[in-house]
Structure 1
Amino acid sequence: MKKIIFTLLTGLMTTLIFAQDSGKFDLTASLHNQWYWRGYAVGPDPIIAAQASFKYKGLEVGTWNGYGLAGQWKDVDLYVSYTTKGGLSIALWDIYNYSDYAASPSYAGYGNHTQSNYFNYGTGTRHFFDLSVAYTIPSTSLSLFASTIIEGRDRNADGSQRYSSYVKASYDFTINEDVSVTPYISTGFALNSDNDGTFWQWTDKAVADSKSVGINEIGINISKPVKITDSYSIKANAGVVASPLNHTMTGLLGVTLF
């Protein structure tokens, strides 16, 4: 499966580059006080992130890259997605984290992975493949998202895949035409866990509890455009999120520069 997925990603990216005359390239960059992902701050320091993509009708291929300003957290991802005219989106991400967690006393147990082999898709790989679907119910602002790690760094002790899965519901409220308020809730579980553990249990206590199903997040996010000059604005967002599964509460702040 690893070779098939990698070949699919490479082939789609190549095909879309040759279709560039009828598609378009896009680029965004953002700053965050930390990188929070599905229940935990996996990047504990301020980070800068960039996303570059090529879009052709409903198909999109691209890369997302994040780097901690303290030189600790590093992540580079490839993805391909397709969105139907009805708003259903399917995406496959190859996520590769090569952080130096040893540089932070509180995260040292996660190790230093800066020397990991990007092209290793076998035992000890730092890759994992995340397959997801997203859908906003018509005539509402209710968005649903579900994903499963189908291959890579999410394994039981015997090397089999756990298939950790994640389901999220969010609802957007627009206030004063430019402020968006989004409460959300998510849960995590595994389809094939040998000890009830999942990929979403980050803290020592969460790992020790080994709950087969748990609430990953209960949070709220507020975003609005902030005018810098007459011709330039940024999008700012802030919020707070609790993770009952990990016994944490996290404050979040970010700005999209362009």
Structure 2
Amino acid sequence: MKKILFTLVALLSTTLFFAQEKGKFDFTASLHNQWYWRGYAVGPDPIIAAQASFKYRGLEVGTWNGYGLAGIWKDVDTYISYSKSGFTISLWDIFNYSDYTASPAYAGYGNHTQANYFHLGKGTRHFFDLSVGYSVPKTGLNLFLATIIGGRDRNTDGSQTYSSYFKASYNFSLENDITVTPYVSYGFALNSDNGNTFWQWTDKAVTDAKSSGFNEIGVNISKPIKITDNYSIKASAGAVASPINHTMTGLLGVTLF
């Protein structure tokens, strides 16, 4: 765990030091009706999210953070990625310090607002997600595979579960700049001792304890909305079913800039 975090911090620092004069900084902000991640609404209330990054050729380093407007969900992440020829490889350090006790429906997940960011041992709120994505040339097909390689994805004996996630999506455009994206994802574990994976959120999913299953079957629709001659926002809406969690969720988001 410490080696993973040290490597991530070293890469971030080295990249900024050597490339700051030739790269560019960027940031975005967005609003969402909730935060949905790989099969479940881990942020149950409306949220605001921000992403700040530094980009140099195919290399990108940055941070993503989200805050629930009801004060329940809180998350701050750092990441590094590299893209070339349609491939993108990324390493994310994800740190969730939410207070789920503020919502009766989520109270069982606990209050983590006092979690020690620098604690990387047993009970840490960090997890490290390594992924590779590929955009198939001349098509709208995108493939994505990720594995949690460290942190709070553990079996009962403390060993790493290595929960993994595969997603396929396809973008196609309609008139009026509308983009439609159907997608499907499948979750599984490389080392599950009792059928659990990181993707099982609901009580029934935990009871069923399936070591693999469909995380998502969904569709997203997005389009730019012109506000002024010089300013537009991007709005998106969709619905997604999670067979492994026995849920159906509606999603709405707006990218402000």
- Secondary structure of 2:197's aligned partner: coil
Q: Which amino acid aligns with 1:63?
A: T
1:8 shift after superposition = 1.6
Q: Cα deviations across residues 198-255 of structure 1 (Å, max 9, x unaligned)?
A: 0000000000000111100000000000011111100000000000100000000000
Per the alignment, residue 83 of structure 2 pairs with: 83
Q: Equivalents in 2 of 1:8, 1:179: separation in Å?
A: 40
- Secondary structure of 2:245's aligned partner: coil
- Secondary structure of 1:105's aligned partner: coil
- Secondary structure of 2:106's aligned partner: helix
Per the alignment, residue 32 of structure 2 pairs with: 32
Q: Equivalents in 2 of 1:230, 1:58: separation in Å?
A: 31
Per the alignment, residue 16 of structure 2 pairs with: 17
Per the alignment, residue 68 of structure 1 pairs with: 68
Q: Is 1:203–2:194 an aligned residue pair?
A: no
Q: Cα deviations across residues 104-130 of structure 1 (Å, max 9, x unaligned)?
A: 000000000001100000010000000
Shift >2 Å, 4+ stretches: none
1:10 shift after superposition = 1.2
Aligned residues: 256
Q: Is 1:164–2:166 an aligned residue pair?
A: no
TM-score by length of 2: 0.98
Q: Which amino acid aligns with 1:74?
A: K
Unaligned runs of 5+ in 1: none
Q: Which amino acid aligns with 1:78?
A: T
Q: Equivalents in 2 of 1:13, 1:213: separation in Å?
A: 34
1:3 shift after superposition = 2.0
Q: Equivalents in 2 of 1:182, 1:256: separation in Å?
A: 17
Q: Cα deviations across residues 172-220 of structure 1 (Å, max 9, x unaligned)?
A: 0100151100000000010000101100000000000001111000000
Per the alignment, residue 5 of structure 2 pairs with: 6
1:14 shift after superposition = 1.4
Per the alignment, residue 52 of structure 1 pairs with: 52
Q: Which amino acid aligns with 2:144?
A: F
Q: Which amino acid aligns with 2:145?
A: A
Per the alignment, residue 134 of structure 1 pairs with: 133
Per the alignment, residue 234 of structure 2 pairs with: 235
Q: Equivalents in 2 of 1:22, 1:144: separation in Å?
A: 30
Q: Which amino acid aligns with 2:5?
A: F
Q: Which amino acid aligns with 1:67?
A: Y
RMSD: 0.7
Q: Which amino acid aligns with 1:159?
A: G
- Secondary structure of 1:22's aligned partner: coil
Per the alignment, residue 244 of structure 1 pairs with: 243
1:5 shift after superposition = 1.5
Q: Cα deviations across residues 80-109 of structure 1 (Å, max 9, x unaligned)?
A: 00001x110000000000000011000000
Unaligned runs of 5+ in 2: none
1:183-222 aligned within 5 A: 183-222=182-221
Q: What percentage of residue pairs aligned between the two structures are identical? A: 75
Per the alignment, residue 143 of structure 2 pairs with: 144
Q: Equivalents in 1 of 2:13, 2:162: separation in Å?
A: 29
- Secondary structure of 1:147's aligned partner: strand
- Secondary structure of 1:72's aligned partner: coil
Per the alignment, residue 114 of structure 2 pairs with: 115
Q: Which amino acid aligns with 2:61?
A: V
- Secondary structure of 2:241's aligned partner: strand
